[in-house]
Amino acid sequence: MRAFFISFLVLVTTSSSFAALVPISSLQARATRYDSFLDCLEHAGLFPIWEGQPAYASDIAPFNLRFSWKPAVILYPKDTTDVAAAVKCGATYGVKVNARSGGHSYAAFALGGENGHLTISLDNLRHLSVNGSTATIGAGNRLGDVALYLWNNGKRAMAHGTCPYVGIGGHAGQGGFGIPSRAWGLLADQVTSIQIVTADGAIRTASKTQNADLFWAATGAGAYFGIITQFTTVTHKAVDSVAFSYTFGNYGAEDASRGLLAWQRFANDPKRPLDANLGLQLHVNPGGPPSGISFSVSGSYYSADVAKLNATMAPLLAELGKPTATTLQPQGWITSVLYYAGAPDVSGLNTTLAPDAHDHFYATSTFVSEREPLGKPSTDALMKYFYGPGVKSEVGWFIIFDLYGGQKSAIRSLGADYNAFDARDALYSIQYYGSFPCTVSDADGIKFIQGMKAALEQNQPKTVFKEYVNYIDSTYSAAVAHKKYYPTHTERLTAIKNKYDPERVFHNPQDF
């Protein structure tokens, strides 16, 4: 079996800690070293899987099929003690280590973001419990399973993203925005303590009062400081809501630009601060005739009071005109979770019942701050792009605006340095996403999506835009990533990295 592993070392030629092309004379020595690494894992009672073994190809398939990173080894520890043993082997033999929770990183960073790493997949760490308003969540859980468990065990709830298959490890570790986040904060903000294996193999508890620096860093920049094996979180009473959607299928580019500016003013009108129970989005994507673009204002109001929602939305609708389609749907909590998941019933939240989907895509993001909202040149250029190249493109694209801020928002109220998440001043995020059919090359598809963002950002040249790390841009170097994701926190994060992981055991191309 080891022969496969040695041949992997010979064949792989990309740069990485574990996979540089080496002269044959030193190959045997290296192979011996890697053999010792495998021995280390096996002596710890772990079952390393490497290239050539039957499970390897399927086990390393990323969510984003644009990538094909080859870890040296992938393994599935049964508990935190196993995780610690695996990290120690990686550290001892100089193999870089990454955790995989749900595997949904846009850059496939759970597989290293380059070849030759040790991927520790947390699929077996799926324990869940609730005690009063506190939940304990194994880091291998997916969001759908967490939501379903909380609902079935005391009608509890949390704010988190919409896709059932996204893992809690990456999502909570680096933010985690959901439609109720203006009321309850990001998923990372709802975490009260973590169990984390650090680079020395120690199993630590971190919270606001214990290893507070590690806790601060791992709730916002979670991929770089250790492997979180368990989250303790607050939960909330599950609430009813009204889902709404107003679609304007007949807008031209100028209407859409005016509409976006109206949406932005509404989002942060000092005279009419929006209720924190309002989750608000704006979707723009290819649509049917007459314009070929669909412009849609949507979200959920976390109260069953339709009249109050209508009164809240009235000023915006007065500016947007008459929608071509309207939905107003009162719904219980779990129905709302299903609505956003696009799942017909609760079985759609149980991720053990059906395999995950995959996509071949590129995505990136912009945070628009409360201080520097978009001006008309930006919104005009963006809409011109959608109604021009956007209508013609073969890329399957969409763009989502998510409201984070406004005076009453819980995300905003925690203050700039609450945890490593570095965009408390954001009024809203914009995600630009494109799936590439086989007729579109990766280079062309990426250029098309980057064109949207450039249209918006380059028409506001004085603004330094931040971005959302959970929509990680695979094209960024570490230096660019730090400026975009952690502009005010990089120095502090680097110091914490130096303290807990001086040898950069946990590493991807955007590491500190």
**C-alpha closest to that of 188 among 140, 248, 153, 228:** 228
* Shortest Å distance, C-beta 173 to ligand FAD: 5
Q: Which is nearer to ligand FAD, 370 or 511 (CB)?
A: 511
d(CA 67, CA 442): 11
Q: Which is nearer to ligand FAD, 120 or 262 (CB)?
A: 120
Site string for ligand FAD, 203-242 (x = CB under 6 A): -------------------xx---xx--------------
- The secondary structure of the chain in percent helix, strand, coil, rounded to multiples of 5, reads 35, 20, 40
Stretch that binds ligand FAD, among 84-92, 164-172, 275-283, 479-487 (CB under 6 A): 164-172
| Candidate list 48, 102, 201, 434; residue touching ligand FAD; CB under 6 A | 102
C-alpha distance from residue 437 to each of 362, 385, 450 (Å): 12, 20, 17
- The answer to whether the beta carbons of residues 137 and 231 sit under 8 Å apart is yes
- Assess 184 for contact with ligand FAD (CB under 6 A): no
- Measuring CA to CA, which residue among 16, 40, 28, 24 is closest to residue 116? 16
106 binds ligand FAD (CB under 6 A): yes
- Region 134-163 residues binding ligand FAD, contact defined as CB under 6 A: 139, 161-163
Q: Write out the two tokens for 254.
A: 């100028």
Among 77, 144, 167, 259, binds ligand FAD (CB under 6 A): 167
Output the smallest distance, CB 422 to ligand FAD, in A. 14
Our measurement of the distance from residue 48's CA atom to the centroid of its chain's CA atoms, rounded to an integer in Å, reads: 27
Q: From the list 16, 17, 105, 409, which residue makes contact with ligand FAD (rule: CB under 6 A)?
A: 105
Q: Is the peptide bond before 330 cis (omega within 30 degrees of 0)?
A: no
104 binds ligand FAD (CB under 6 A): yes
- Count how many Cα atoms sit within 13 Å of the Cα of residue 487 in the half-sphere of its side chain: 12
Closest to ligand FAD by CB, 112 vs 287, is: 112
Contact 255, 317 (CB under 8 A): no
- Window 233-292: residues binding ligand FAD (CB under 6 A): none
Q: What is the DSSP letter of 375?
A: P
Q: Is 100 in the site for ligand FAD (CB under 6 A)?
A: yes
**Cβ atoms within 10 Å of 172's Cβ, excluding its own:** 32
User: Which one, 74 or 320, has the nearer CB to ligand FAD?
Assistant: 74
Beta bridge partners of 243: 300, 329
Kindly state the smallest distance separating residue 252's Cβ from ligand FAD, in Å.
29
In the complex with ligand FAD, which residue's Cβ is closer, 144 or 248?
A: 144
**Based on CB atoms, which residue is closest to ligand FAD, 110 or 276?**
110
| Contact with ligand FAD (CB under 6 A) among 116, 144, 173, 220 | 173
**Which of these ranges, 168-176, 203-211, 410-418, 483-491, lies near ligand FAD under the rule CB under 6 A?**
168-176
CB of 147 to ligand FAD, least distance (A): 12
Taking the least distance from each CB to ligand FAD, the nearer of 90 and 256 is: 90
Kindly state the tokens that stand for 416. Answer: 């700039």
Contact indicator for 193, 205 with CB cutoff of 8 Å: yes
Two structure tokens written together for 431: 């995600």
Q: Which of residues 53-82 bind ligand FAD (CB under 6 A)?
A: 63
How many binding residues for ligand FAD (CB under 6 A)?
A: 33
Site membership for ligand FAD, residue 40 (CB under 6 A): no
Q: Is 482 in the site for ligand FAD (CB under 6 A)?
A: no
CA separation for the pair 240, 337 (Å, rounded) = 11
> Which region, judged by CB under 6 A, interacts with ligand FAD, from 175-183, 235-243, 265-273, 389-397?
175-183
The strands making up 97-100's β-sheet, listed across from edge to edge, are 73-75, 118-121, 97-100
Question: DSSP per residue over 14-35, as a string?
Answer: S-STT-----HHHHHHHHHHHH
The partner residues of 228 in beta bridges, in order of sequence, read 196
Among 170, 201, 287, 434, binds ligand FAD (CB under 6 A): 170
Please tell me the distance from the alpha carbon of residue 49 to that of residue 71, in angstroms, as a whole number.
Answer: 9
Token readout for 437 is 């059919």
Instruction: Look up residue 45 and give its two tokens.
Output: 């009672």
If one asks whether residue 508 binds ligand FAD (CB under 6 A), the answer comes out as yes
Per CB under 6 A, does 373 bind ligand FAD?
no
Residues that bind ligand FAD (CB under 6 A): 63, 98-106, 109-110, 122, 139, 161-163, 166-167, 169-171, 173-177, 222-223, 227-228, 470, 508
